[in-house]
Amino acid sequence: MKLEIRNKNREFLALIEINSGGVNFIDTGSDSSFRKFVIGALEKGIPEFREEEENGIIKILERLVIPPDPNFPLIFKNFIERNGYSVLDERALAVRKEIELILSALPDSNDKKLILEKIQKLFYAELILVLRELKD
């Protein structure tokens, strides 16, 4: 699973690949504090949550996951989301590619240049909105 990580101000932090064995930083230009956060979290274990209903009470259960673990990719993705990071998964990256492809078929213009720049900072929902408009 490939993820692009951004902060809430849309600044790029890292491009990572997660598999059951752990996390790989693809981009060497990744943000050092994010890298530190990931390394620290992996040392402690990543919390995974479940809920169970018992006698009308929902129990919140937790376990700490340290790779290798078959469910690690999504557990880790959810963990970084909970900690305030914005995540673009492969579906979001595919939408961005599709927008770029549609734009590449159009003649060059200032508007096209601006759109190409701006979409690099968009989140999943926003990318979908732009794609909808372009296909309309």
Partner 1 sequence: MKSKELFSNNQIQQERIVKESRKLKKVNKLLNLIFLGGLTFLASGCIGLDTSGRFNEAKPSFSIEMPISKEEKPKKKLSKDSEREKDTNDEKRESIISSFREKHMEEFQALSAMKNKEEKLKEVFGGLAPNEAGHYLVYLEGEAVDQYYGFDIWQISPEMTAEVFGLKREIYGTQEPALELTGLETIDGEISPEKLRDLIQTLPQHWVNGEVSSIKQIDNKGDMEYRDGIKWTTVGGFRRESNKDSHTGQIVFYYESRYYSFGEIMKTVYHEMAHANDWDDDDDVKYNDKLDLLIKIADRISAPDRYLSEYVESIKRDTPEKTRYTEALEYWAEICSIYFSNPANLPLPDIEIVDWWIHKNDQNFDSAAQLTRRDGLLANLGDKASIGLAQR
Binding footprint of partner 1 on the chain (CB under 8 A): 6, 8, 44, 47-51, 56-63, 71, 74-75, 77-78, 81-87, 89, 91, 106-107, 109, 111-112, 114-115, 118-119, 121-126, 128-130, 133-134, 136
Select 28 or 101, whichever has its Cβ closest to partner 1. 101
Select 31 or 89, whichever has its Cβ closest to partner 1. 89
25: burial class by Cβ within 10 Å (0-12, 13-18, 19+)? middle
Nearest approach in angstroms of CB 45 to partner 1 is 8
Select 9 or 28, whichever has its Cβ closest to partner 1. 9
Nearest approach in angstroms of CB 28 to partner 1 is 25
Select 97 or 112, whichever has its Cβ closest to partner 1. 112
Task: Give whole-number Cα distances, 70 to 45, 80, 92, 107, in Å.
Answer: 15, 18, 23, 46
Query: For residues 119 and 128, is the Cβ–Cβ distance under 8 A?
Result: no
Q: Three-class SS of residue 94?
A: helix
> What does the alpha-carbon distance between residue 77 and residue 129 come to, in Å, rounded to a whole number?
23
> What proportions of the chain, in percent to the nearest 5, are helix, strand and coil?
45, 30, 25
Nearest approach in angstroms of CB 98 to partner 1 is 13
